[in-house]
């Protein structure tokens, strides 16, 4: 019988699931993702994680708990770096320990380290380690799995670059065409943008109002890298780079009508990148811009009020005052 490998639907799930799902399936494992986030999953995550963890880490704990009695092994990789010369948030590196010591009754974890800081080829070594830890030792099969995973990842990225959101691509829901009256940049980490419970159905709400979105994942990474080259210091945090590079691109794009940033309370990367984006937007951006900061206590009512205010800004600007900044005068002196 095939070994069942659980994959919690959190953190970088919406970035790398097609890749890892294809790899493990090609090896002969049965892949079991946790379901979409629910209140129960979030509550368990809050219960089993430390108080000052950021919301996405708490949600991840809840998904690990959900899978604990359904699988033989659980994949919680130690992500140190996913791009040459760049690190990601240290919380990704600490996830295996956080999960192991906080969530009860877990099956054995697969906690292979992925560290591409020096060389992208380290990924192949890490995948071999992962396969060996699952007792798959045939190199021909492992190589075949790696090639299939690379292909699946290219197809996934191509579909997302066409404007499909990763959650729809993963669920194989065909892209629906919407009647759009505006297009905005929606900035944030993938685990905030595509988790419809965590963001209270934000993308659906936008589309119902005829607002099309462009997210960092939909942009060619070269565009993001190029925009970050304009910064006075090199950005060596992958997630901060994605946020800042895409925000700078969106702010310069005359066909995009506004920008909404969704950030997590307690996130170090967001407090740095969000502050930078907000300052740039207030100084130079002449279109509607709003930051929505969320945590596990954020209520639907308050969230909806803020989104409605953003919709009003977009409508008001489109019909009345295209020459005025919609967010008021800058309060920053430099």
What are the φ and ψ backbone dihedral angles of 85, each rounded to 5 degrees? Answer: 80, 10
Between CA 239 and CA 86 the distance in angstroms is 9
**Given the complex with ligand SF4, which of 68 and 189 has the nearer CB atom?**
189
Q: Could you give the dihedral angle defined by the CA atoms of residues 322, 324, 327 and 329, in that order, rounded to the nearest 10 degrees?
A: 170
**Given the complex with ligand SF4, which of 245 and 258 has the nearer CB atom?**
245
Q: Token pair 């979030």 is at which residue?
A: 42
Neighbours of 110 (CB within 10 A): 21
Largest CA-CA distance found in the chain, in angstroms, rounded: 66
| Phi-psi domain of 69 (left: phi exceeds 0; alpha: psi -120 through 50; beta: other) | alpha
**Given the complex with ligand SF4, which of 54 and 106 has the nearer CB atom?**
54
Nearest to residue 53, comparing CAs of 267, 303, 290?
267
**Given the complex with ligand SF4, which of 242 and 257 has the nearer CB atom?**
242
Tell me the closest approach of the beta carbon of residue 99 to ligand SF4, in angstroms.
13
Tell me the closest approach of the beta carbon of residue 64 to ligand SF4, in angstroms.
15
Tell me the closest approach of the beta carbon of residue 77 to ligand SF4, in angstroms.
14
Tell me the closest approach of the beta carbon of residue 58 to ligand SF4, in angstroms.
9
**Given the complex with ligand SF4, which of 6 and 56 has the nearer CB atom?**
56
HSE at residue 35, side-chain half, CA atoms within 13 A, is 8
| Footprint on this chain of ligand SF4 (rule: CB under 6 A) | 54, 56-57, 89, 91, 189, 239, 264, 267-270
Tell me the closest approach of the beta carbon of residue 158 to ligand SF4, in angstroms.
25
């Amino acid at each position: 019988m095939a070994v069942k490998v659980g994959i919690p639907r959190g953190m970088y799930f919406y970035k790398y699931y097609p890749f890892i799902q294809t790899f493990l399936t090609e090896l002969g494992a049965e892949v079991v993702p946790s379901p979409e986030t629910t209140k129960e999953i979030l509550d368990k995550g809050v219960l089993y994680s430390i108080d000052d963890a950021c919301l996405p880490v708490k949600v991840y704990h809840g998904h690990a708990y959900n899978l604990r009695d359904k699988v033989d092994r659980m994949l919680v990789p130690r992500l140190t770096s996913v791009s040459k010369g760049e690190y990601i948030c240290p919380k990704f590196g600490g996830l295996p320990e956080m999960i192991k010591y906080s969530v009860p009754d877990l099956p054995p974890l697969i906690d292979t380290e992925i560290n591409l800081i020096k060389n992208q080829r380290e990924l192949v070594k890490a995948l071999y380690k992962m396969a060996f830890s699952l007792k798959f030792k045939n190199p021909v099969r492992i190589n075949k799995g790696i090639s299939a995973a690379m292909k699946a990842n290219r197809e996934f990225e191509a579909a997302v670059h066409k404007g499909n959101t990763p959650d729809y691509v993963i669920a194989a829901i065909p892209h629906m065409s919407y009647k759009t009256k505006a297009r905005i940049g929606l900035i944030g980490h993938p685990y905030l943008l595509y988790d419809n419970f965590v963001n209270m159905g934000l993308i659906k709400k936008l589309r119902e109002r005829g607002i099309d979105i462009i997210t960092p994942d939909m942009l060619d990474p070269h565009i993001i890298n190029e925009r970050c080259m304009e910064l006075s210091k090199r950005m060596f945090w992958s997630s901060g780079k994605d946020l800042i590079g895409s925000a700078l691109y969106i702010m310069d794009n005359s066909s995009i009508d506004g920008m909404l940033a969704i950030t997590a309370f307690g996130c170090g990367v967001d407090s740095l990148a969000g502050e930078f984006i907000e300052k740039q937007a207030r100084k130079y951006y002449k279109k509607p811009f709003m930051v929505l900061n969320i945590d596990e206590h954020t209520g639907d009512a308050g969230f909806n009020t803020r989104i409605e205010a953003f919709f009003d800004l977009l409508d008001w600007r489109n019909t009345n005052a295209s020459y005025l900044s919609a967010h008021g005068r800058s309060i920053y002196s430099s």
